[in-house]
Amino acid sequence: MADAKEGEIILYITPKDSYVAANNRLLDFYVGKHGFSCIYVTMNRSYAVMSSIMKESGIDPERIFFIDAVTPIHTSSIFRSGNAVFVGSPRNLTNVSIVVGSTIKTGKGKRILFLDSLSSMLLYNGAETGTRFMHFLLSLMRTWKVSSAIMSIEKETDAAVLAQLVRMCDRVVETG
């Protein structure tokens, strides 16, 4: 993590037992040290849980805009509350795309899309759908010059999917 280049797309691969710590280090690096506006897509833990984990680690969750695909909602539409939007399910990639797009378009300055996590997204959507979604999403980020951090848990992501995703990224970083 020597630098934070605007518009760079990085795949971070981390062991399961150090995942939360690596996640927090990266958020502190981008949001705390380099002043990126962060759009945090969580498909792993709810907004409430992530917000609590971040607070415990000294990261201000109010500086992050969350797209929560974990917390169930009792409507088919998108629900917003404060600095979080709830899309209802990690399988609802269409709503995730819509919210990411509208959030990116209204943002200014250095921005980063933080995807937590590739492993969870693939678990709910399968390799083919997940790969197509990532290609679409990362193409948008590249067009809009938005940095992206994609978190993946080591040994939990299909090798064929990783091989395709690596070609879409500027760098792959193994964290510990």
Mean pLDDT, range 61-79, rounded to an integer: 84
- Give me the CATH topology for the region 9-174: Rossmann fold (3.40.50)
User: Is pLDDT at 44 greater than 70 in this prediction?
Assistant: yes
pLDDT for residue 1:
53
pLDDT for residue 108:
81
pLDDT for residue 158:
79
Residues 6+ apart with CB under 8 A from 19: 117, 151, 153
Confidence label for 113 from pLDDT (cuts 50, 70 and 90)? very high
- Kindly report the average pLDDT of the chain as a whole number: 90
Confidence label for 149 from pLDDT (cuts 50, 70 and 90)? very high
User: Is pLDDT at 77 greater than 80 in this prediction?
Assistant: no
Between 73 and 111, the more confident residue is: 111
User: Is pLDDT at 137 greater than 90 in this prediction?
Assistant: yes
The H or E element that residue 13 is part of is strand 9-14
User: Is pLDDT at 176 greater than 80 in this prediction?
Assistant: no
Domain ranges of the chain: 9-174
Mean pLDDT, range 76-86, rounded to an integer: 83
Measure the CA–CA gap between 154 and 157, rounded to whole angstroms.
Answer: 7
